[in-house]
Amino acid sequence: MEAGKIIDFRSLSEAVGKFHIGRKKVLLPAMNRISAHLLAGTFRAFGIEALVLATYGGLDLGKQYTSGKECYPCQVTLGDVLAFIRGERERLGRAFHPEDYIYFMPESDGPCRFGLYNKFQRLVLDSIPGLDRLKICSLTTQDGYSLAGLLEEERVTDFKKAGFLAVVAGDILDRLVWRVRPYEREPGATDAFAEGALHRLAASLETWGAGGNYEPVLAELDEILAEAKDLIDPQLPPKPLIGMVGEIFLRMHRESNQDLIRLLEKYGAEVENASMAEWVNYVSYERLREARKHLTLHLRLLHFTQLRTCLRDILDFGLNLLFQEATQKKIYRRTRRVLDLAEDHRIAHLEKILDRSEVFSFDVRTEACLSIGGILQCAAGGYNGVVNVYPFTCMPSITTSAIVKPLLNERQLPYLDAHYVGSFQPGREAALSTFLYQARQHFGRHGRKRRAETRNRPEGLFP
C-alpha cells in the first residue's frame, strides 16, 4: 500500500458486505476450479454474468501488496483479482469501469484470519486509483452464508438450492478424478475427460439451474460417471489409500499445493481429499449449534424476549442443514449406483468422533474440528496414511498437527504435514516418497478400506 496515504476505514463497512448484484459482473476466485466454474454456471442460470478469475498468474502482484505476514491464500486471491483488473484495464482502456464488477470474497468469524481477507483486500483496492468503486461482496458465516440481499427476495431460495447442487456436483467430479486417474487405462485420459465433463455440467447448470427441476443436471452427471467408469482398467490392483485434510484453500487449490494429489498418485497412491460441501455444512452446523447454546443460556437467565429469536434461528439453520445433508445424501446415493465413489461424512458424525476421543472439541471451532475429526475417521476407517495440507503458519492446521501426530504415531498410521507458502521446498519429493513407502508398508500389513464402505461407519479408534 502507498506509504503515508490516509486510510478511510469507512469503506470496510460501506464497500465490503452484501450488495445487490444487479447487472454487475461477478468475479469468483478459483479456490477449487471445478466448483468455481459450476457456481459461475449457476449464476448465469439466474441471468447474472459471472467470471472465474484466472489464478496464480498474479502471485507477484499479491506479494507486492502484502507484507508476508498475511495467510498465503490471502496473497494468492489478492494477486488474482489485481491481475484481472490490470488485464481488464489494458483490454478496455477508458471503457473500464470498476463499478461494473463485484468481487466475491466470503469470510468467517474468528478466531482465525479468514475474517480479515476481504477487509485487508478492501484497503489494498482503495489504495489503487479508481478501485474504491469495485465492491467486495462478502458472505459471512455469522448468518450461515445467507444470500439474502444479493438477489431479489423471491429468487434467493432457488439460487441457494442450485448453488448447493453445484457444490455437491463439483465434489463428485473431484472424486471421480481421484477414483479413476490412479487406475486409468490410458495416461492422461481422466484429466482430459474431466475437463470436458466440467463444461458439460456447467452448461447443464446454466440451462436448468434456475428452474427448480434439477433432474437434467443429475442425468448429465449419471452419464458422465458411466463414461468415466470405462476409463478404469479393472485389472489394476488397489493402491494404498491416503486421506487428505487441512485448510480448505490449500487442499483445493492445485497451484498453491503444487498439485499434491497428482504427486501422491505418481508415488503410487489413491487419494481422497475432504470435500467443499464439508465446509458449507460445517458453517450451517456451527450456526445451529450456536443458536442452541443461546437458547439454553437465555432460558437459564429467563430472558424470554430473546427466546423467539433463538427459536427462529434454530429453525432456520436446522432446516438449512437438513436440506443440505438430504440433498447430498440423495445425490451420492444416486452416484454410487453408477460408480463406487467414496461418500461424504456428516458433520455431526465428526463431532461425535471428537467427543469420543476427548482430544479436541467443536467448542474451540475453526477447521481444526473438521481436520482432526477427519483424521481420526481415516485412522479408524481403513486408510493407509493421512496428509494435512495447509498454508505455512496456519493456526488451525498447526493445532491439528500437534494433536494428531502422537495419536497416529501410537497407531502407526503414516502422517505427513504438507505446508506451503509459494516456494519449492527441496526436500518435498523425498518426504512424499518416504511417506508413500510407509503407506505401502501399512497397506501390505492391514489392507485398505473396501470401496463399498461409506465414511459414516461407527469408529473404533477411541471406543
- Total interface residues for ligand SF4 by CB under 6 A: 11
- Least gap, CB of 120 to ligand SF4 (angstroms): 11
Strands 241-246 and 270-273: parallel
Contacts of 228 (CB under 8 A, 6+ apart): 176, 180, 190, 193, 197, 339
Stretch that binds ligand SF4, among 265-273, 319-327, 393-401, 418-426 (CB under 6 A): 393-401
Between 27 and 368, CB nearer to ligand SF4: 368
Q: Using CA atoms, how far apart are residues 320 and 122, in angstroms rounded to an integer?
A: 30
Backbone dihedral region of 413: left (phi > 0), alpha (psi from -120 to 50 degrees) or beta?
A: beta
Q: Using CA atoms, how far apart are residues 132 and 126, in angstroms rounded to an integer?
A: 4
Does 112 sit near ligand SF4 (CB under 6 A)? yes
Between 123 and 156, CB nearer to ligand SF4: 123
Q: Using CA atoms, how far apart are residues 186 and 94, in angstroms rounded to an integer?
A: 49
- Least gap, CB of 249 to ligand SF4 (angstroms): 6
Does 367 sit near ligand SF4 (CB under 6 A)? yes
Interface with ligand SF4 in residues 68-87 (CB under 6 A): 71, 73
Residue 104: phi and psi, rounded to 5, are -90, 120
Does 282 sit near ligand SF4 (CB under 6 A)? no
- Least gap, CB of 12 to ligand SF4 (angstroms): 17
Does 270 sit near ligand SF4 (CB under 6 A)? no
Q: CA dihedral defined by 75, 78, 84, 90, rounded to 10 degrees?
A: -90
Contacts of 155 (CB under 8 A, 6+ apart): 46, 210
| Residue 122, CA atoms < 13 Å, CB-side half-sphere | 24
Does 98 sit near ligand SF4 (CB under 6 A)? no
Stretch that binds ligand SF4, among 2-10, 108-116, 331-339, 444-452 (CB under 6 A): 108-116
Interface with ligand SF4 in residues 293-332 (CB under 6 A): none
Stretch that binds ligand SF4, among 85-93, 110-118, 419-427, 449-457 (CB under 6 A): 110-118
Does 247 sit near ligand SF4 (CB under 6 A)? yes
Residue 169: which of 38, 321, 338 has the closest Cα? 38
Between 204 and 400, CB nearer to ligand SF4: 400
Does 286 sit near ligand SF4 (CB under 6 A)? no
Q: Are 42 and 205 in contact (CB under 8 A)?
A: yes
The site for ligand SF4 (CB under 6 A) is made up of 71, 73, 112-114, 247, 367, 391, 394-396
